[in-house]
Amino acid sequence: MPSKRGDAALVALTRTANHSVLWISAAAVLALAGGEHGRRAAVRGLAALGMASAVSNGPLKFVFRHERPTRRPLLISAHSTYSFPSGHSASAFAFATAASAEFPAVAPVLVPLAAAVAYSRVHVGVHRVRDVVAGGAIGVVCGAVAFSVMHKRREEPRRTPGTDPGSLAAELDFVEVHDVQEAHEVHGGESAPA
């Protein structure tokens, strides 16, 4: 039988993940202490978290409409929302996936922490295993998508103003060069004075 101390630790963990407080705090630490990689990891992690939360807590819960478990005593009060998929698990793995993809050094901390949050949801009695597995899968996908999209946008070459072939500045440069060349040709064709 689980110890009271273990129960208390998992209850505390699952509560810190409410409203994504745990992951917002992790993002703040990354942004403040992780340098450029940490700041990018924080942004990507929060973007992925927002995506996963919107998907898991919005349409999917109302599509499946699975009720919360009732087979065991609850260690915390159950939410009034549906059970499948677990929004806490989706948010946890979304943040961990995107942030770790950008900053691999934090993966050994974030991934086990995400798994612990997912397990805590089952342990305290508010989710079934399938809920957290589905939530975790949604989180991984959202994390990968958020990282990929933001990374691709960052890698796109940035044009210097006026270098776009269709820009007004480029057209003016062309006209100016053409006029200079034309003037040079006219000057070069004149006879030298006797």
- How far is the C-alpha of 89 from the C-alpha of 57, rounded, in Å? 11
Extract the residue ranges of the chain whose pLDDT is less than 70.
1-3, 66, 69, 71-75, 77-80, 154-194
Q: What's residue 31's pLDDT?
A: 96
pLDDT tens digits, one per residue of 2-16: 567 778 899 999 999
Q: What residue segments make up the domains of the chain, in order of their start? A: 4-155, 162-194
CA 92-97-102 angle, to 5 degrees, is: 135
CA nearest neighbour of 122 among 72, 82, 80: 72
DSSP output for 79-133 = PSS--SS-HHHHHHHHHHHHHHHH-GGGHHHHHHHHHHHHHHHHHTTS--HHHHH
Amino acid code (one letter) for 50: G
Q: What is the pTM of this model?
A: 0.74
